[in-house]
Structure 1
Amino acid sequence: MGLNVINLVGRAGADPQVRYFDSGKVLCELSLAVGRRSSKTDPPDWFKLKIWNKTAEIAANFVRKGGLIGIQGELVIETWTDRNTGANRSSPVIVVDKLELLGSKRDNDSGSINSYQEADEF
């Protein structure tokens, strides 16, 4: 039995980048900065997020650079061949299943935590 679940809370590093496909699927890509509990002076860890479909649309509409969000997803290692050098490359990516909009009342009109979970396959 295997388990691949990641939970993170952090701040959006930039506004979301959204792509719409002819198939009707939607992809939102976003960076997430997560500070370490052990040290307030160390720089944050950065994570690349991929969010699909309805949850992607919600992220595109409500997440902004600096906004506090919580995510749950799985770690995927994407691999490709560099076009210029022909070298094999890889990058860790979090494929998000659940998105929570966190923050103060000023950050979020309703002032509450809003949770969104992808119900369909991507």
Structure 2
Amino acid sequence: MTINIVHLIGRVGGDPDMKYFDSGKTKCRLTLAVNRRTRNSDEPDWFELELWGKTAEVAGNYVRKGKQIAVKGSLKFDSWNDRQTGVSRSKPVIVVDQLDLLGSKNEGDNSMNDMSPDNF
């Protein structure tokens, strides 16, 4: 048995990057800054998030830079060849299945928690 589940809580690094495809699908990319429990440094770890469908639409409507969110998803690696050098490259991406908006109402939270596509 194999398991690929990632849970993260952090703050969004920039406004959502939305893409709308002719097929009707919606994709959203976000960056997420997450502090480690055991590290004493002020530097967070950064993760790239990829959201699809209704979860992407919710992120596009309600998530902004600095907003605290929780995500659940799986880890994948995007791979490509560098155009200039031809070297094979890859980067980790979290494919988000569930998005939870966190924070207080004072932060502009619309109290819309558990934004997984199953809840629509």
Place the TM-score, normalised by the shorter chain, in its bin.
Answer: over 0.9
SS at match of 2:115: strand
Unaligned runs of 5+ in 1: none
In the alignment, the residues of structure 2 paired with residue 40 and residue 62 of structure 1 have an alpha-carbon distance, to the nearest angstrom, of 31
* Aligned residue runs from structure 1 range 55-70, under 5 A: 55-70=55-70
Q: Does 1:21 align with 2:21?
A: yes
Q: Which amino acid aligns with 1:118?
A: P
Question: C-alpha root-mean-square deviation of aligned residues, in Å?
Answer: 1.3
Cα offset for 1:72?
0.1
Q: Partner of 1:91 in structure 2? A: 91
Deviates more, 1:33-42 or 1:19-28: 33-42
C-alpha distance after superposition, 1:4-38 (max 9, x if no partner): 00000000000000000000000000000001112
Superposition TM-score, scaled by structure 1 size: 0.91
Where does 1:1-122 land on structure 2 (aligned, <5 Å)? 1-110=1-110, 112=111, 114-119=113-118
Question: Contact 1:52/1:118 (CA < 8 Å) preserved in 2?
Answer: no
Amino acid at match of 1:98: Q
How far off its partner does 1:113 sit?
A: 5.5
> The residue matched to 2:54 in structure 1 has which SS?
helix
Structure 1 residue ranges, 4+ long, deviating more than 2 angstroms after superposition? 39-42
- Identify unmatched segments of 5+ residues in structure 2: none
Question: Structure 1 vs Structure 2: percent identity of aligned residues?
Answer: 53
Q: 1: CA distance between counterparts of 2:73 and 2:80? A: 22
Between Structure 1 and Structure 2, how many residues are aligned?
118
TM superposition score normalised by structure 2: 0.92
